Structure 1
């Protein structure tokens, strides 16, 4: 399993409008292709004006297929165009993490002991 974590840094004061637009036009279409997010968070303490969300996939091939379907959906393209026109996002950071299989790790440790 992999988890993709996306962090968006918004322009000062854009949080409310970013979340409102996403709730009204982006969320349903994104969930229809990617499934429910593992998490969807807005910063409170620390670095401000950030939205962090994470998506779970079996592997990179599933991620690629689901993202391609999302990017081919006219509803998503319309939402993304409106979001870009609103000039809400200042920076984006993506990271992909692999699940740690502790059972396999313990077996390897035992074998090498």
Structure 2
């Protein structure tokens, strides 16, 4: 199992607008291809202009297959276009995590 941990940062004052745009146009199609994330939340302390989501995959091949299907979906492409036009996002940091040998989450 692997975890895909993603942190996105929005321009100050735009995280609510970005979440509304994503909630309407991105969330349904992303869940269709990736399933439900373990976590999807806005940061409440620290960098309050950011949010984090963590997705679980069987392995790197499972992640690659699901993300390729998402990337190829015209609805996802339309969401990405809307997001880029809105210009709310300023950075993205992705990390792939492997569970510790003693963790059975």
Shorter-chain TM-score: what band? over 0.9
Distance in structure 2 (CA, Å) of the matches to 1:18 and 1:24: 10
**Secondary structure at 2:28 match in 1:** helix
RMSD of aligned Cα (Å): 1.0
Q: How many residue pairs are counted as aligned between the two chains?
A: 103
Pairing of 1:47-62 with structure 2 (within 5 A): 47-62=47-62
Distance in structure 1 (CA, Å) of the matches to 2:102 and 2:6: 25
Distance in structure 1 (CA, Å) of the matches to 2:24 and 2:77: 14
- 1:83 corresponds to: 83
**Secondary structure at 2:26 match in 1:** helix
Displacement of 1:101 in angstroms is: 2.3
What is the TM-score of this pair, normalised by structure 2?
Answer: 0.95
Q: Which has the higher helix share?
A: 1
- 1:16 corresponds to: 16
What is the TM-score of this pair, normalised by structure 1?
Answer: 0.88
Distance in structure 2 (CA, Å) of the matches to 1:102 and 1:30: 30
Distance in structure 1 (CA, Å) of the matches to 2:20 and 2:54: 19
Query: Can you give the 5+ residue segments of structure 2 that lack an aligned partner in the other structure?
Result: none
Deviation by residue 1:27-83 (Cα, 9 ceiling, x = unmatched): 000000000011001011111200100000000000000000000000000001000
Greater CA radius of gyration, 1 or 2?
1
In the TM superposition, structure 1's runs of 4+ consecutive aligned residues that sit over 4 Å from their partners are none
Distance in structure 1 (CA, Å) of the matches to 2:99 and 2:32: 24
Displacement of 1:2 in angstroms is: 0.3
Distance in structure 2 (CA, Å) of the matches to 1:13 and 1:72: 31
